Structure 1
């Protein structure tokens, strides 16, 4: 591989790449310095004059992922060095960097990862067909058919591929389809987070950088949205260099590549990755120096702005009025013919999937809160509440649970409008809407947490949860409407403004230089004619966009509401809670590290300290399992509230034990014995006993270790033996049926209602029948079996009696054929409700 890269990237070509990068950074540096002064002027003006707008009703969490990691598990990675697949332990910290280790032990010891992947600019794929289609665009004239294999052969039927237009690709695979979906959700979340753009907190650097990027691309004739505007500023600048450099290198190197089609594609990918790394190294160094120069001038510029702010604003208004008089006559015909007729159709295309996505966010939150209410009715106590709230607090950052919300937005279709307005891809809008969904979910969860923490002193926990739930959901409805309307306005501007600038460039751009004479030299650093021209064009279409969004809100289309003025003291209790620290539910109830919760040992971002951090996606990794079962979905799940719903009918027993079906009708155990049987299933074995042993062995439980092989060949671990003397008369051996026959008969009895009735009748019998254990003539061995992944049955919540809320707890009264139904089976005449996997077997 190194020979391929070095032979095609000799010293001359590397010097050429360095020179091209330096030229681009020099041009960009001049634009960035100009836009920095303008952004500082806008920031100081906003600070002085203030800005209005609807106030958020939900609280905002400052650092939601502090002390958390996102995910960890095992999968297979393709190693290009030896072209083989190897099992790797993957850890995703709160920075969303994918770290790959040799094994879990290496990660726990704090060793550096073998590979760290920053997912900015990547795309997560789950099929080789999609990957081949993207690879065919890498080299002109070299195209593979869909049926042909690329230069890798996947070890399983479930691949996961990270594709990048410039950097190296990464290949993984897993064992099951469900596993693939889970990992795909995690990889997509990593890509989404890294592509989120620059932080809004930087009120000067962020707008200066984005405006400089836009202006630089416009000078090259590129208008509109840009998919590679993702990652950190050095990464974005490297993408900007590669946008023009890669096609040139491809035309130079592509015809000289030798070998088969797949080999040439692979070699080109390695060459492109080497070029990208070289460019990224340069942009990182030069961007840091560029920012330092501008920041050194900030204090001086800020002082001048505050001294002459009134004169600068007056001068700007005067110049803008002159530009407006020149632009508006040319804008009006363009608006009437090419913009106004299409605003409503663009808005409708945006509103449909976006509103469905935000509605799904509300539904997911509602289901989780209803589950919380159900568990409070079962009397789980505050310790159980602490575990559930720990998991609920990270709901917004759970890739699998949020996947149903994100998928709604992926249905966005702007086809037809893309060609008219030269929109490259709807991916920019999809990604932005998904980030807003996550933010709103986290705000709603955080608001519910603070309200519930305030109400913990109340006696009725269930009513407190219901009040906090209704209050948080109402605030979510308002905020989600406000956020969506802002998103629609910004998306419309991102689609329309570049199209207008491109259409007006020939007639307006040549006249702009004459307006520079109207600006005083002292103010020329803060007032740029090009920026004021874009503001005038934006003002010309803003009224039409605002009216279209307002009309949709007045008509209540897609649950949009008209904005109302919300005063800071309108909700004083919640306003005060906004300054409260984040609630640590595990520490609050003294349950910092319960067994089987989402605690997972994960190293810090750099792979260093190996400190214990909570993991957002619940995962338990068991050592000693075969490689095929070390992946994230094949290991036993967490024995608490299901991490994700299992709704497929073709679910394997292992998968069902990990993710319990939430559609099953919950029931409450009626006695201590039934609770014990549900937690620790037993196998009863009747053995002959002498008269002397009857007296010596009576109701004695002894811990022991050993194996028991039942008649059907199942081997069970023995942890305890309880000896019970049974005096009941024994049936003849010929009257006994085999365990298989009993199981078949029991499996036929699957009516849920009949089971509940039988259970109630048996409970009544147990209360009236006297104990007969003392006169029994056989020894019964009671063997607790290892705990399964299923949950304890719970009492369903009945919210139909609440008159102050329109929300009801969703309960499913119909049995699901895909879920194993409880069966009744027992000895000594009673029936017990147990799982089919936990059948009592009576051996001769």
Structure 2
């Protein structure tokens, strides 16, 4: 009955036209902002290219493709299928792109068969309790809010659930047999979400700032300032979230009163309807964004030529208009900064510094422990094969979600209570995930630098010298990490403060300043009007007015060595100018030192075997296949493989019989017996500050 209602609602031509018209309206308005900001972003990019700009020289190296020939995790668990209302065993595979692929069995995956589905985790949250899930579900359906003690529409056959929740898209339900499995899968799911939410590619120097600025201006025109939790995924996903932000409440008011049945059934039906609408909207935003981007790319050569021809005149014209706008708005801006911003900068900075620095300190501790372990193992066995084996394991430390979890958890303690109302900070998740990504990057940079130093130092040395070489390289890398982590944190603090403060200032100043801005358009030559927008200049003036105070606050924290921040003037001694001449690719330790050779074709190893970063849990001595959750092996019989054996070759494991995929038998207590149940980016002289 629920599916019949859903099909009838979605098949209704009027409903479909309603979704389409709303999507078209949003995309048309967004497209105007995007075309304007594309020209401005191109101007900033070309100007930065011509004038040049120096970035801080890092001490640690960076590699281009760390996950080449690697996978994150794979294993078996149980999934709840909405269509059949049954729990089925599934084999999940998380590759280097952090998408979750679902297969009927490990054998199906190994044979290269098509997956049953792929989950892109952008915008999701990974949950481990039905109580937390029910709370989110009730909050999203305020019109049909259940009592606190109400049961969800499904029951897990085991007490260790894993749920992927999304405000609009379909929810995914899994369960496992042990707490150890649950913790490991939860860490992996969180890493998938974190990676998918990491924002758009910074390598796109024009398209990315144009998109983020257009999105920010669109939302500001609707009265929404500050961070936005649903700026997650690629451009099409972000735009789909933008459409659903207004479409979803309207659909809920229209459809939810028409749903029949008990509360749990109405919840289930509403989620399926929301998912179906979201997929329709996503398909539309994908098509329309691609067309919009293509139009701008076609126009780019002409704009680029005009910029390079008239760059000096455009810069002079912009500076002239900036001076006029600054003279008008600066007194109001300075008054706002003195009375409403300066008194709060230090308290906001302290709230950011404490958990962030704890997380980076934990990264250093884990790095130190792992490097010491390599040194100890090399002392016990000084063969090059063993050294290659240990170095091969440590090379993927930064991408091991379980080992990095303690670092990420430190950042979860970030508390911005009070700011969320005052400064329109929707939640601290934007800052938490950004800091966690930076932790992973710094860990990988440190490990990669250690690998390069060791590899460079091993030339011509025997096993007797391995321990001394590793110790010397370890000390150098830790010093470099301390310097770079300080630099990265200071940059993160400055950007986070701007991300919190600038939207608040714009919201306060726009009512009085915006009406005066159009008159400045008369000062801009028509040929330059594509590249100089008074709205962008106004925001640059606001940004410049508070940047000095933010820089000073971070500098004072560094001078006082708060949380081990280094002074900006500090120069790291014994730096390695030649270190940056080393390779950026991952070293094949197993191939060079472990004797693993492959047939080379075109300079590449043919059929290179993928290494899995996180260890699997094996069902040693247990009967397979099992057919239902009532027949699964006991908890005591599932030993977890030690972390010292983390990188397993998926193609060389012992063959496992494929799991039989049959519905779980309905027994007393079975779930089937019950009722069915952001970013703001302001371009300033070509340097993007992300919000």
Instruction: Report the TM range for the smaller structure's normalisation.
Output: 0.7 to 0.9
Task: Label 1:640 to 1:12 Cα distance change in 2 as closer, same or farther (>3 A).
Answer: closer
Alpha-carbon separation, structure 1, partners of 2:186 and 2:444: 22
Aligned to 1:468: 473
Give how far 1:612 is off.
3.0
Q: How does 1:283-302 map to 2 (within 5 A)?
A: 283-302=285-304
Aligned to 1:617: 614
In the alignment, is residue 588 of structure 1 matched against residue 589 of structure 2?
no
Contact residue 77 and residue 171 of structure 1 kept, 8 A = yes
Task: Label 1:639 to 1:24 Cα distance change in 2 as closer, same or farther (>3 A).
Answer: closer
Task: Label 1:630 to 1:309 Cα distance change in 2 as closer, same or farther (>3 A).
Answer: farther
Q: How does 1:395-410 map to 2 (within 5 A)?
A: 395-410=397-412
Aligned to 1:778: none
Greater fraction helix = 2
- The worse-fitting range, judged by mean Cα deviation, of 496-505 and 47-56 is 47-56
Alpha-carbon separation, structure 1, partners of 2:634 and 2:370: 26
Alpha-carbon separation, structure 1, partners of 2:387 and 2:624: 33
Give how far 1:356 is off.
0.1
Give how far 1:618 is off.
2.5
Q: How does 1:127-166 map to 2 (within 5 A)?
A: 127-166=129-168
Aligned to 1:240: 242
Task: Label 1:611 to 1:142 Cα distance change in 2 as closer, same or farther (>3 A).
Answer: farther
Task: Label 1:570 to 1:184 Cα distance change in 2 as closer, same or farther (>3 A).
Answer: closer
Aligned to 1:6: 7
Alpha-carbon separation, structure 2, partners of 1:472 and 1:549: 25
Deviations 1:572-625 (A, max 9, x none): 331221x3542100100144399xxxxxxxxxxxxxx99731111123756964
Aligned to 1:88: 90
Gaps of 5+ in 2: 599-605, 648-691
Aligned to 2:554: 549
Q: How does 1:137-536 map to 2 (within 5 A)?
A: 137-457=139-459, 458-459=461-462, 460-536=465-541
> Residue 79 of structure 1 is aligned with which of 74, 78, 81?
81
Contact residue 359 and residue 411 of structure 2 kept, 8 A = yes
> Residue 576 of structure 1 is aligned with which of 562, 575, 581?
581
Aligned to 2:30: 28
Alpha-carbon separation, structure 2, partners of 1:30 and 1:58: 42
Task: Label 1:24 to 1:151 Cα distance change in 2 as closer, same or farther (>3 A).
Answer: same
Partner SS state of residue 583, structure 1: coil
Q: Flag the structure with more relative contact order, 1 or 2, with Cα contacts below 8 A and sequence separation at least 6.
A: 2
Partner SS state of residue 489, structure 1: helix
Contact residue 91 and residue 100 of structure 1 kept, 8 A = yes
Deviations 1:484-523 (A, max 9, x none): 0000000000100000100111100111111111111111
Contact residue 167 and residue 272 of structure 1 kept, 8 A = yes
Task: Label 1:633 to 1:517 Cα distance change in 2 as closer, same or farther (>3 A).
Answer: farther
Aligned to 1:603: none
Alpha-carbon separation, structure 1, partners of 2:633 and 2:189: 18
Alpha-carbon separation, structure 2, partners of 1:51 and 1:524: 25
Alpha-carbon separation, structure 1, partners of 2:395 and 2:60: 15
Q: How does 1:116-127 map to 2 (within 5 A)?
A: 116-127=118-129
Alpha-carbon separation, structure 2, partners of 1:582 and 1:29: 41
Contact residue 615 and residue 645 of structure 2 kept, 8 A = no
Contact residue 64 and residue 584 of structure 2 kept, 8 A = no
Contact residue 109 and residue 610 of structure 1 kept, 8 A = no
Alpha-carbon separation, structure 2, partners of 1:429 and 1:422: 14
Task: Label 1:196 to 1:2 Cα distance change in 2 as closer, same or farther (>3 A).
Answer: same
Partner SS state of residue 525, structure 1: coil
Alpha-carbon separation, structure 2, partners of 1:353 and 1:571: 31
Partner SS state of residue 429, structure 1: helix
Aligned to 2:51: 49
Contact residue 138 and residue 265 of structure 1 kept, 8 A = no
Deviations 1:682-712 (A, max 9, x none): xxxxxxxxxxxxxxxxxxxxxxxxxxxxxxx
Contact residue 516 and residue 529 of structure 1 kept, 8 A = yes
Give how far 1:635 is off.
5.3
Alpha-carbon separation, structure 2, partners of 1:18 and 1:632: 50
Alpha-carbon separation, structure 1, partners of 2:138 and 2:22: 27
Alpha-carbon separation, structure 2, partners of 1:23 and 1:149: 40
Contact residue 621 and residue 630 of structure 1 kept, 8 A = no
Alpha-carbon separation, structure 2, partners of 1:634 and 1:344: 53
Alpha-carbon separation, structure 2, partners of 1:514 and 1:432: 39
- The worse-fitting range, judged by mean Cα deviation, of 632-641 and 163-172 is 632-641
TM-score between both structures, scaled by the size of structure 1: 0.72
Aligned to 2:644: 641
Give how far 1:145 is off.
2.7
Q: Which has the larger radius of gyration?
A: 1
Contact residue 55 and residue 566 of structure 1 kept, 8 A = no
TM-score between both structures, scaled by the size of structure 2: 0.88
Task: Label 1:223 to 1:174 Cα distance change in 2 as closer, same or farther (>3 A).
Answer: same
